[in-house]
Structure 1
Amino acid sequence: MSYSFITYEVADHIATITLNRPEKRNALNGEVVKELIGAFTAAGDDRQVKVIILAGNGDAFCAGADLEYLQQLQRNTFEENLADSRQLMALMQQIYHHSKPVIARIEGHAIAGGCGLATVCDLSYAVPAAKFGYTEVKIGFVPALVSVFLVRKIGEGRARELLLTGKLIGAADAVQMGLINGVVAPGEIHDLVKRLASDLCTGASANSLTLTKQLVANALDMSMQQALDEAAKQNALTREHPDCREGIRAFLHKEKPVW
């Protein structure tokens, strides 16, 4: 698949998906969302890829929806807007439930839909100057899709604070709220995220990463007993998987596992 608004690269078992509209502050529109879905699908289908990095080219990670796109939405029919919303929903679900860990490398502001992308990634790291916020209410819109994921991630109280006020917060406050995982100096963030991705590639089996993501994502959809029953089932199934057998063999022989 060829891309006009993003770049897609694979090296050392890591797929890097980069929003590439720096002149638009990597703003989202229907075509960008479609290309992101295609790239995440490609990474999921590629057996050589174990970890995905999501980044933005230029001064912003992603500034949300672009102005031309917002103007077009006002001319759409309800059915057209519903289809467009469902496409963005599909992207957020895809990232949240992706079979491979997704790390956001945030080197600029993540606003509205851009903050939504950071929300659904498994791990997120930002430079100190990055700002975060769900500003939809300030233009008479609603942060509808992201609210579902944000409540899960940081809890109802903090989600209400961010979504209702539409305020921007700094990277340090985003860490304190649990929205992102860490703040990293601009000259170090590439190396840190690459090192973390590499550590996941070599230090954990692909099967274990996939199942762990599924267990975490599904836990809140079940009663405690249902979640425990599912966890016990996955525990038993994993013991039969070749990755587990290799991991135990390597541990017992004080060797590095070969996955």
Structure 2
Amino acid sequence: MFETISLTTDARGIATLTLDRAEKHNAMSAQMISELTQAARQLGEDDAVRAVVLTGAGKSFCAGGDLGWMRDQMSADPETRFSEARKLAEMLQALNTMSRPLIGAVQGNAFGGGVGLAAVCDVAIGAIGLKMGLTETRLGLIPATIGPYVIARMGEARARRVFMSARLFDAAEAVELGLLAKAVPSADLSAAVEKEVLPYLSCAPGAVASAKSLVRSLGPTIDNLVIDQTIQALVERWETTEAHEGISAFFEKRKPSWSNEG
């Protein structure tokens, strides 16, 4: 059914949603974005599912947006750019509003959109050794569609420490920033996730869904107006000379024109 993700559900009703492009460090392609949206809606409508674990196959949780997909936006017409940006935004919102609790198991690397995926989880646990970063500005882009979820999780003050600089940070700092609930040794990640999942098996599923909806409504507003604002910001960035230079430099394996790194 799916090609870029896998989805399994155990006898207890614990579903595991796995990003399954290990050879690409689970970078999000157009197909993965579509399949994640479909999976989120499917899981939210499945009465047998009590909780969902989101993880990545292989060495990385998610390396962000697929660079090939990003490069395609450089030459796309405006309507296509808007359509692709909206699909990305709708995928994030589908996961964010999914009625089932979403627990993230984050390992290896989580960059750009991978940070966004961690931010839409109700609880995200990281493996020690994890590297994270909002790396978009290195490419002349901005963390636009993931921005509302990152800021909702971190708060503005903490987000400003890492939102613009593209610097990498480890699991311990991610906990300090509020992005991760805890950091554990890699060997203990599955057990830590299980501890987060287990209590939901004693809770009324409908009450859990209602409680999640309520807490979202009491937090920062992420509605269609906000989502449209992020889509517009992303599309405008895709159209800049900086974005073209940043993506080109990546594929040409050179530093972009603005880099002063030694």
Structure 1 partner of 2:3:
4
Residue 191 of structure 1, CA deviation: 2.1
* TM-score between the two structures when normalised by the length of structure 2: 0.81
List per-residue Cα deviations over 1:122-177 (Å, max 9, x = no partner).
10001011111111111100111121122222111111221111111100000011
- The separation in 2 between residues aligned to 1:221 and 1:176, in whole angstroms, is 20
Structure 1 partner of 2:259:
none
Number of residues of Structure 1 aligned to a counterpart in Structure 2: 220
Matches within 5 A, 1:144-183: 144-183=144-183
Could you tell me whether the CA contact under 8 Å between 1:14 and 1:198 is conserved in 2? Answer: no
Structure 1 segments (4+ residues) deviating >2 Å: none
- The separation in 2 between residues aligned to 1:68 and 1:3, in whole angstroms, is 20
| AA matched with 1:212 | A
- The separation in 1 between residues aligned to 2:149 and 2:17, in whole angstroms, is 21
- The separation in 2 between residues aligned to 1:42 and 1:15, in whole angstroms, is 11
Q: Gapped runs of 5+ residues in structure 2?
A: 222-262
SS in 2 for 1:27: coil
- % of aligned pairs identical? 30
* TM-score between the two structures when normalised by the length of structure 1: 0.82
Residue 210 of structure 1, CA deviation: 1.0
Could you tell me whether the CA contact under 8 Å between 1:111 and 1:132 is conserved in 2? Answer: yes
Q: Gapped runs of 5+ residues in structure 1?
A: 223-259
Report which of the two structures shows the higher radius of gyration computed on alpha carbons: 1
Matches within 5 A, 1:208-247: 208-220=207-219
Structure 2 partner of 1:113:
113
Structure 2 partner of 1:233:
none
Residue 70 of structure 1, CA deviation: 1.9
Residue 67 of structure 1, CA deviation: 2.3
Residue 196 of structure 1, CA deviation: 2.1
Higher relative contact order (CA 8 A, sep 6+): 2
Structure 2 partner of 1:32:
32
- The separation in 2 between residues aligned to 1:67 and 1:145, in whole angstroms, is 16
- The separation in 1 between residues aligned to 2:88 and 2:177, in whole angstroms, is 25
